[in-house]
Amino acid sequence: MSALSITNVTKSFGDNHILKGISLEAEAGEFIALVGPSGCGKSTLLRIVAGLEGADSGEIVAGGRDLTRLVAAERNVAMVFQSYALYPHLTASQNIAVPLAMRNLTSMQRLPMIGSLLPGQKAIRKDIMRQVTDMARSLKIDHLLDRKPGQMSGGQRQRVALARAMVRQPGLFLMDEPLSNLDANLRVHARGEIVDLHRRAGVPTLYVTHDQAEALSMADRVAVMMSGSLLQLAAPEVIYDDPAHIEVAKFVGQPRINTIASRVDADGAVTLGTWRLQPHDTLAPGSDITVAIRSEFLSIADMGTPGLPAHIERLEFLGSEVIVYTKLDAIGESMVVKLAPSDARGLVAGKPVTIVPQGERLMVFGADGARLRADLTFTTLLERAHG
Amino acid sequence: MADMTAISLPVEKSRPIVNVSERHEARVAWMLAAPAMILIVLFIVAPVVAVITLGFTDFELGYSTFKFVGFENYAELFGDRTFRQSLWNTAIYTAIVAPASILLGLGVALLIESETVGRSFFRTAYFLPVASLLVAMATVWQYLLHPTIGPVNNLLNLIGLPGPNWLGSASTVLYSLSMIGVWQTVGFNMILFLAGLTAIPRDLYSAAEIDGAKSPIDRFFLVTLPMLGPTTVFVTTISIINAVKVFETVKTLTEGGPNKASEVLLFTIYQEGFVYLRVGYASAMTVVFLAVLVVMMFAQYRLVDRKVHY
């Protein structure tokens, strides 16, 4: 049985269909990243799982418990917000203690003056404080416990927010872009920390982000969402190397994947610039397709080598690699090539060159954006069409 | 060595230039600040100084001369039964109007905030008493609270209750005026609380729900009330000051009566200064009035303000 299963969840505001039937399963202890451009519905899905918003239809089951009709407080989920949402009037230790106090103390016992007179509350408070201190120590924020959020840095607040979420051993961990408000250096560092914390806690986690690099680097599986639909849910390597949809291919990877719009010829072959590619499987003649290839599977050779003739437009030196922006001579499409600096020696803007793709890395997508598996049968680039 | 002189030389040369530009900057600063400073002296500092000075004289309007009498006015004040009565009445009035209008203002703001359909209608309706002319509305209140033809008493009679003589009896007049005061202030406090409510980040409520604050009451005490702290301090200050300054309803509806039962500070000052023309004595009262307000404001900011800003 999966730790979390989301079945056919839909949500719309008026005519605006935010979620068009999302289904998703998470295994025990799995880290799933929900990634997509802003407005794709990933945050709404997370809020529905949290119980902060109601779904129009669909079902959410976690740990064998149907959560669909429970309010947020009863779902035993924890959430970290992009803004951290710490209570500004409470100190760090009071913030971390809130989820425990809300659950372990009655509303009478929580009253400021009268509460302290009630029997039993002292022992509970002491136990809460012990848990808070333990949690703080494990996140290395025990020196911040007396500070209010206003007196902390972004990174410190983020840790307090994590501590508040983790302190009561939730059944499900939800994170809504928790790293977006951190500066770039801290963000990369915090990625590792969150993955580490997740591994220690072993709680299934849904992690919303718009940053594909974050999703690929942190998650066990990545769910790519696009305008209310789940396009692909798979391991990061599969998402990158074997995307099921053109939008997934475009969204993931830096620089963006190269795409060339084309049409299947009458004989079932595909014309790509001055080249014709012969797939072994048949593609419907006359159908529109998109051919895509990642920049690192292209190489640049001297003019005259068999390949796609192009001109270099500009070069970007990034230290460990060089990004070469080119334009194909035949069809005017842009092609981005990622090279090792040693391979880029002697390249200058304006130089005519030949681009050589690795044939087995070409991918074909249909007019609806879905992947056509025909690409696996591309053998090599075949003969030149016209001299 | 040669390097050092080369470096230090321009610094010494530029020093007088810095001084000139600094002096120039200072002059510009004074010029820019001057209009505001002149206006503050003219319209705030000078009148206060004048009132304090007049409080030590026996000046009466219409007489061309006056002499300084030291603390005589103040000595008279504290033996003056009318003044003590009006001080007491003002305190009672404030003790009713300020808390009632703050709590009701908060309650109405919370109701309107959670309302989706008629929000702007209710907001306007509650704000109407603030925007309307109190003197004009006083006639309406006079009619409503009239002991025999007033609708309020008619309604009470309908269910068999004897209606009191709201504004005409010494035992009820102050409470009737307080009621009108609350009616007039709730809308203003509501607007301030509404502004405070909209400034609370929605995420905090989401976090509170996740953290286990199941009921709206839990969320109110965990998020809303603490986050409204700064607003509440401001609303409290304004409400107290406005209550202490009650005048229009007293002047138009009761003239301080019956038997000084609704005599309030500002009305007493008005009587002494503009009816009996004893400007010196009225000034001394004004000084006491100002002192009360200033002390209250300081006390409030000292005690509360530090705790509500995060």
Q: Comparing B62 with B48, which gets the higher pLDDT?
A: B48
Residue A239: pLDDT over 50:
yes
Read off the pLDDT band of A325 (50, 70, 90): very high
DSSP H or E segment with residue B23? helix B2-40
Q: Residue B1: its pLDDT value, please?
A: 42
Among partner residues B204, B214, B217, which is closest to A85 by beta-carbon distance?
B204
Read off the pLDDT band of A324 (50, 70, 90): very high
Residue B106: pLDDT over 90:
yes
CATH architecture type of domain B81-308:
Orthogonal Bundle (1.10)
Name the minimum distance, in Å, from the CA of A111 to any CA of chain B: 10
Query: What is the rounded average pLDDT for all residues in chain A?
Result: 86
Residue of A nearest to B223 (CA): A87
Name the minimum distance, in Å, from the CA of A139 to any CA of chain B: 19
Q: Are A229 and A20 in contact (CB under 8 A)?
A: yes
Residue A377: pLDDT over 70:
no
Q: Are A232 and A223 in contact (CB under 8 A)?
A: yes
Least confident of A17-31, A74-88, A233-247, B10-24: B10-24
Among partner residues B206, B215, B217, which is closest to A81 by beta-carbon distance?
B206
Q: Residue A359: its pLDDT value, please?
A: 74
Please tell me the distance from the alpha carbon of residue A247 to that of residue A231, in angstroms, as a whole number. 8
The CA–CA distances, whole Å, from A69 to A20, A26, A60, B199, B216 equal 20, 20, 9, 30, 18
Please tell me the distance from the alpha carbon of residue A62 to that of residue A28, in angstroms, as a whole number. 10
Residue B7: pLDDT over 70:
no
Please tell me the distance from the alpha carbon of residue B149 to that of residue B151, in angstroms, as a whole number. 7
Residue of A nearest to B221 (CA): A111
Over residues A90-143, the pLDDT tens digits come to 988 889 989 888 888 877 777 766 666 777 778 888 888 888 888 888 888 888
Residue of A nearest to B215 (CA): A73
Tally A–B CB contacts below 8 A: 72
Q: Residue B30: its pLDDT value, please?
A: 93
Please tell me the distance from the alpha carbon of residue B247 to that of residue B270, in angstroms, as a whole number. 9
Is A73 at the interface with chain B, CB within 8 A? yes
Over residues A161-192, the pLDDT tens digits come to 988 988 888 889 999 998 888 888 888 888 88
A87:B222 CB<8 A = yes
3-state secondary structure A33-60: EEECCCCCCHHHHHHHHHCCCCCCEEEE
A62 forms bridges with which residues in the sheet? A4, A65
DSSP per-residue letters across A352-377: EEEEEE-GGG-EEE-TTSBEEGGGGG
Chain A CB contacts of B217 below 8 Å: 107
Chain B CB contacts of A48 below 8 Å: none
Burial A106-136 (b: 16+ CB within 10 A, else e): eeebbeeeeeeeeeebeeebeebeebbeebb
Name the minimum distance, in Å, from the CA of A38 to any CA of chain B: 18
Identify the residue whose tokens are 């914390």: A197
Chain A CB contacts of B203 below 8 Å: 81-83, 85
Among partner residues B206, B209, B310, which is closest to A89 by beta-carbon distance?
B310
Region of A14 please: left (phi>0), alpha (psi -120 to 50) or beta.
Answer: left
Residue A203: pLDDT over 80:
yes
Please tell me the distance from the alpha carbon of residue A374 to that of residue A377, in angstroms, as a whole number. 6
Chain B CB contacts of A88 below 8 Å: 226-227, 310
Read off the pLDDT band of A3 (50, 70, 90): confident
Among partner residues A83, A86, A89, which is closest to B226 by beta-carbon distance?
A89
User: What is the identity of the amino acid at B309?
Assistant: H
Q: Residue A273: its pLDDT value, please?
A: 65
Please tell me the distance from the alpha carbon of residue A332 to that of residue A5, in angstroms, as a whole number. 47
Q: Residue B173: its pLDDT value, please?
A: 86
Rounded to 10 degrees, the C-alpha dihedral B53/B57/B61/B62 comes to -130
Residue of A nearest to B222 (CA): A87
Q: Are B268 and B285 in contact (CB under 8 A)?
A: yes
B211:A164 CB<8 A = yes
Write the burial class of residue B194 (CB in 10 Å: 0-12 exposed, 13-18 middle, 19+ buried). Answer: buried
Read off the pLDDT band of A46 (50, 70, 90): very high
Q: Are A60 and B184 in contact (CB under 8 A)?
A: no
Please tell me the distance from the alpha carbon of residue B8 to that of residue B103, in angstroms, as a whole number. 68
A230 forms bridges with which residues in the sheet? A225
The CA–CA distances, whole Å, from A27 to A110, A200, A204, A206, A237 equal 37, 16, 7, 11, 18
Q: Which domains does chain A have, with CATH numbers?
A: 4-241 (3.40.50.300), 254-377 (2.40.50.140)
ipTM above 0.85, yes or no: no
Helix B229-244 crosses helix B279-300 at what angle (to 10 degrees)? 170
Over residues B63-86, the pLDDT tens digits come to 777 788 878 788 888 888 888 888
Residue of A nearest to B308 (CA): A89
Residue of B nearest to A49 (CA): B210
Chain A CB contacts of B196 below 8 Å: none
